[in-house]
Amino acid sequence: MAGIALYELAGAEDDRRFSPFCWRIHLALLHKGLAFETIPWRFTEKERIAVSGSEKVPVLEDGATVVPDSWAIAEYLDATYPDRPLLDSPMAKAEARFIGAWTERVLQGDLFRLIVTDIEAHLHEKDRAYFRSSREARLGTTLEVFCNRSLEPLRGDLGPLRHSLIAQPFLSGAAPAWADYMVFGAFQWARCVSPLQLLEPSDPVWQWRERMLDAFDGAGRAAKGYAA
């Protein structure tokens, strides 16, 4: 395929794009100012991305090059299109690994428990049985038993993020970059499938998320989802 294409997880509707990892790359491409198209993909369409060697999205196609995995795609984009870096030094890259790990292990863990049944409700019909059986096997219980709407764990775990965002407008400093896209991707995952209000407007994290929703002509805000 000529040009850049990004495979993104979609729900029942083609334009409900709710993967936290795909959102990272969507924003990274906007950050770079690169033209790209997005291709809706469902969990059960493994064969459509088989050439990547991965069973997960995001998958990026750039001409004949195919790259899976959000971190690898970010590295590929910085190596191939060095203008407007996502990670502007080896030290920034090394430190961003911690933010990525925190996002996946802590933040996405808290959010998954809050929104897991909302995710299921927005899936394409063909993905429902796969999602339920794969996640219930991993969780060792049903989605309904695992789901817990208490906001306390999330709000507590947001402490370090909140503390950083009081000191600076973005995690990456004066302007957003890869660390912001990783964390924002998690919030965007929730926003695209769940009406739950996760944050209070007085929270510096809410205010940062507003800045992120406004970035790139409001790309995140325009996405199909909920206003909370």
Neighbours of 212 (CB within 10 A): 23
Amino acid at 193: V
> By C-alpha distance, which of 158, 115, 149 is closest to 135?
115
Which residues here bind ligand GSH, judged by CB under 6 A? 9, 19-21, 43, 55-58, 69-71
Nearer to ligand GSH, 56 or 122 (CB): 56
| Cα 151 to Cα 154: distance, rounded to the nearest angstrom | 5
Contact 14, 224 (CB under 8 A): no
Nearer to ligand GSH, 70 or 172 (CB): 70
Give the nearest distance from C-beta 167 to ligand GSH in angstroms: 27
Contact 63, 1 (CB under 8 A): yes
Q: How many helices (DSSP H) and strands (DSSP E) are in the chain? A: 10, 4
Q: What secondary structure, in 3-state letters, does 88-125 show?
A: CCHHHHHHHHHHHHHHHHHHHHHHHHHHHHHHHHHCCH
Give the nearest distance from C-beta 56 to ligand GSH in angstroms: 3
Give the nearest distance from C-beta 96 to ligand GSH in angstroms: 13
Give the nearest distance from C-beta 108 to ligand GSH in angstroms: 9
| Cα 216 to Cα 112: distance, rounded to the nearest angstrom | 27
Nearer to ligand GSH, 165 or 183 (CB): 183
Give the nearest distance from C-beta 101 to ligand GSH in angstroms: 11
Nearer to ligand GSH, 44 or 164 (CB): 44
Nearer to ligand GSH, 43 or 184 (CB): 43
Residue with tokens 């695209």: 192
Give the nearest distance from C-beta 21 to ligand GSH in angstroms: 4
Nearer to ligand GSH, 101 or 166 (CB): 101
